[in-house]
Amino acid sequence: MLSVITPVYNGEKFIEFCIKNVIAQKSTLVEHIIIDGGSKDRTVEIIKEYAEEYKHIRWISEKDEGQSDAMNKGIKMAKGKILGILNADDFYEDNLLNRILELFEELPEPTLLVGNCNLWDDEGKISHINKPKDLRIAALLSERSPFPYNPSAYFYHKSLHQKVGLYKVEEHYGMDIDFLIKAILVANVKYLDEIWGNYRHIEGTKTFINKQTGQYDNIHKRVLLEHRSKLPRFLAWQVTAFKIYNSAEYHTRNPQEILPNLKKKLKTLLRISASVKA
C-alpha cells in the first residue's frame, strides 16, 4: 500500500482539487491521510464531505506545531509501506500512483525514488521543470546539482524514517532539504527522467514569500552548511572539490563578476556561520 500524506491549514482554495487528484489516480492500494492543523476556513468541511464518500481518506483536525509536525502525525498513522507527501496546493500527474507502486515492487528497502516536477506560475503556465539528475550527496551539498523541489515528485519506503528519524519539527521551512540529505546518505536512491509532480510556485504560498524576501536562499544555505559540518572527511573533500569546480566554471563564463561575487559570498558565509553558532 502507498500512503499519501497531505498537511493542510486554511487550505480551502486547493484542498478539494488535491483530494480529487488522488481520487482520480484510481488505485485501490492508496490511502490518503489528511492532517489539518485546526483550519478556520472551510477546509475541514470539504475534507469531511469527501471522507464520508471515499473510504480511502483518513483525516484528523487539531492544532499542531507546524508542517513538519503535521507530516510526522501522518507518517505515524500511515498503513502503507510506501510514503508520498502531497501538499494541498500540489498535484500528481495522471495515473502516477499505480506507476509508483509497480516500480517499488522491484526496489530494495529502503529506497528513495525521485522523478521530475513541473513548476507552475500565477498565469497557469509551466515556468520550469525540476530535473534533479545528480543525487550524489557531494553534488547536492556543493550546489552543483538541484535538489528535488517538491515532494509531489518523490516517494520512499516508510522504513527510511527508522534510519533518519522523522521530519525535524523545529525546521519549519527547510524540513524537506534536511530530510533528503539524511535519506540520500543511507537509502538506495533512484532517479527516473519522468514528470511525476506539479508544484504551484505562486503568490501567497509560503515558499514564494520566502523567495521574494530572500529568506529561502538563507534557509537553504543554512541547512546545507549544517550538514556539511557533519560529513565524513572523504565526502567533505568531494564537496570542496565540487565547489571549486563550480566557481571556476562560473567565473570562466563571467570573469567580470569575480570580485563582486567574492565579497558577496564572504558576507553570506559570515552571516550563516553566525546563525548556526547561535
- pLDDT digits (tens), the chain, 278 positions: 999 999 999 999 999 999 999 999 999 999 999 999 999 999 999 999 999 999 999 999 999 999 999 999 999 999 999 999 999 999 999 999 999 999 999 999 999 999 999 999 999 999 999 999 999 999 999 988 999 999 999 999 999 999 999 999 999 889 999 999 999 999 999 999 999 999 998 776 555 444 555 676 888 889 998 998 888 887 887 888 877 766 666 557 767 655 676 667 667 666 766 665 55
Q: What domain range is 128 assigned to?
A: 108-154+166-278
Do 93 and 190 lie in a common domain? no
Instruction: List residues bridging with 154 in a β-sheet.
Output: 114
> Residue type for 141, please?
L
What three-state secondary structure class fits 122?
coil
Do 201 and 124 lie in a common domain? yes
Q: Is residue 57 part of a domain?
A: yes
Grid coordinates standing for 144? 552543483
Q: Is residue 32 part of a domain?
A: yes
CATH number at residue 97: 3.90.550.10
Do 199 and 234 lie in a common domain? yes
Do 85 and 200 lie in a common domain? no
Contact 1, 14 (CB under 8 A): no
Q: Please choose, from the candidates 264, 274, 185, the residue with its C-alpha nearest in 3D space to the C-alpha of residue 225.
A: 274
Do 2 and 20 lie in a common domain? yes
Grid coordinates standing for 241? 572539490
Predicted pLDDT of residue 210: 44
Residue given cell 498513522 in the structure block: 77
Give the whole-angstrom CA distance, residue 51 versus residue 54: 5
Predicted pLDDT of residue 56: 98
Predicted pLDDT of residue 209: 46
Number of separate domains in the chain = 2
Q: Please choose, from the candidates 34, 31, 32, the residue with its C-alpha nearest in 3D space to the C-alpha of residue 7.
A: 34
Predicted pLDDT of residue 237: 79
Predicted pLDDT of residue 231: 85
Do 135 and 101 lie in a common domain? no
Do 87 and 112 lie in a common domain? no
Predicted pLDDT of residue 9: 97
CB contact set of 262 (below 8 Å; sequence gap of 6+): none
Within 10 A of 51 (CB to CB), how many other CB atoms are there? 16
Contact 75, 7 (CB under 8 A): no
Do 84 and 196 lie in a common domain? no
